[in-house]
Amino acid sequence: MFAVWHQWLGIVGTIFILGAYFLLQMDRISSRDLSYSVMNAIGASFLVVSLLFDFNLSALIVEGFWAVISAVGIIRYIRSRTATQDIFQRNALEVRENESQKL
């Protein structure tokens, strides 16, 4: 029997999640890396879609929360990156102001 598109999507989602975990265990990525959260979010989302066609409540709950938690990780990464950039910009502005005051 041939797998239908939603089953293939679930397989790809599983590969994303297991791939992220494998890379984490091999010290290729960190749990704080954007790629880790993105791979988990994509994988979990693909699995949620596939579960809508082959319904399994417990798996849907796990994958739904997995996707949400990964989205939180992505948002935290973006916010911390923005905050870091703001700090660097403020420091650069202070350095320029200090240099102009010395002249």
Range of the domain at 39: 5-102
Per the CB < 8 A criterion, the answer to whether 65 and 48 are in contact is no
Average pLDDT of the chain? 91
Number of domains making up the chain: 1
Q: pTM for the full model?
A: 0.79
Per the CB < 8 A criterion, the answer to whether 77 and 32 are in contact is yes
pLDDT exceeds cutoff 80 at 27 = yes
Residue 32: predicted pLDDT: 92
pLDDT exceeds cutoff 90 at 103 = no
